[in-house]
């Protein structure tokens, strides 16, 4: 494996780990925390994962869906 690929992996590893902690937080610890501690933990994990809190989700374009192997049919309404 090329050394550049390994170093790129190691650079992104903390962000990936933070994303995993954010995903698991609801099921594990968040329901048992006080509200101010809960918000602080989530915002810290979101910063570490480089996720912005006001990040809006955009719908995928038909071209992007096609690249993922998802067919798109346009139907007249």
Estimate to the nearest angstrom the gap between the alpha carbon of 72 and the chain centroid: 25
**Residue 32 covered by a domain:** yes
**Residue 75 covered by a domain:** no
**Residue 73 covered by a domain:** no
Model confidence, pTM: 0.38
The range of the structural domain enclosing residue 23 comes to 3-67
**Residue 62 covered by a domain:** yes
Q: What is the tally of structural domains in the chain?
A: 1
Question: What is the model's pLDDT at position 74?
Answer: 85
Distance CA 23, CA 44 (A): 13
Residues in the chain: 77
- For residue 1, pLDDT over 60 is answered with yes
Question: What is the model's pLDDT at position 13?
Answer: 92
**Residue 12 covered by a domain:** yes
C-beta neighbour count of 52 within 10 angstroms: 8
Q: For 26-75, how does the pLDDT look when each residue is reduced to its tens digit (9 = 90+)?
A: 657 778 889 998 888 888 877 877 766 665 667 888 999 999 999 888 88
**Residue 25 covered by a domain:** yes
Question: What is the model's pLDDT at position 45?
Answer: 77
């Amino acid at each position: 494996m090329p050394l550049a690929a390994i170093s790129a992996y190691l650079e992104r590893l903390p962000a990936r780990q933070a994303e995993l902690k954010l995903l698991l937080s609801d099921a594990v610890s968040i329901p048992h925390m006080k509200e101010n501690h809960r918000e602080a933990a989530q915002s810290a994990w979101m910063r570490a994962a480089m996720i912005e809190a006001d990040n809006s989700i955009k719908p995928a374009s038909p071209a992007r869906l096609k690249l993922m192997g998802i067919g798109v049919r346009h139907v007249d309404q």
